[in-house]
Amino acid sequence: MNWIIKNRSKLDYHTNLNVLLKPIEKDIQNLKWLISDLEINTSEMEKLPINHQKDWFLISSQEMKTICETDTQIVWGAFSGIDKNLELDTEKIEAPYAEGNAEIWKNGNLQVENSKVEIIAWDSSYTIVKFTEKEMSDKFKEYFDEAIELEKYKWK
């Protein structure tokens, strides 16, 4: 239930959240998002609910939808989708990250406890998507037939 997209036949650019989340858009309506390690390209910065002053920040599903509706390329970043009703112990959160993190290439280890989905933008070259729920994973893979199982992908 862990995927990597290298070839982007359905994406105009890597980690285009508008397209990437389309197959699971109904499933993620009840998630809040912990975002960290963020580097983006966009001409719509004023529309985005992004806090560059913090190492990580939380946004609602509606705010995530706002990001998705803009033309924003995620170059680097870690997005962890967590049940919106779950209380997070913010004292224990270590900011998830992509750059320099060998653990993201391993199967099944989401960086934020209780995440249902994790999206990792890796240098605008790869998009890694990990799920804890098979149903969401299956919908994602059905739409993104070019996605490769992370454990079968050999990054060099």
Q: What is the pLDDT of residues 59-89, one digit of tens each?
A: 999 999 999 999 999 999 999 999 999 998 8
> Sorting pLDDT into bands at 50, 70 and 90, what band is 155?
low
Measured CA to CA, the distance from residue 144 to residue 156 in angstroms comes to: 23
pTM: 0.93
Percent of the chain residues past pLDDT 90, beyond the cut: 67
Write down the pLDDT at residue 154: 67
DSSP secondary structure of the chain: -EEEE-S-SS-SSTT-HHHHTGGGTTTTTTEEEEEEEEEEEES-GGG----TTSSEEEE-HHHHHHHHTS-EEEEEEEEEEEETTPPP-TTTPPPP--TT-GGGGSTT--SSTTEEEEEEEETTTEEEEEES-HHHHHHHHHH-TT-EEGGG----
96-147 pLDDT tens trace: 999 889 889 888 889 998 899 999 999 999 999 999 999 999 999 999 999 9
Q: How high is the mean pLDDT of the chain?
A: 91
Answer with the residue of higher pLDDT: 52 or 27: 27
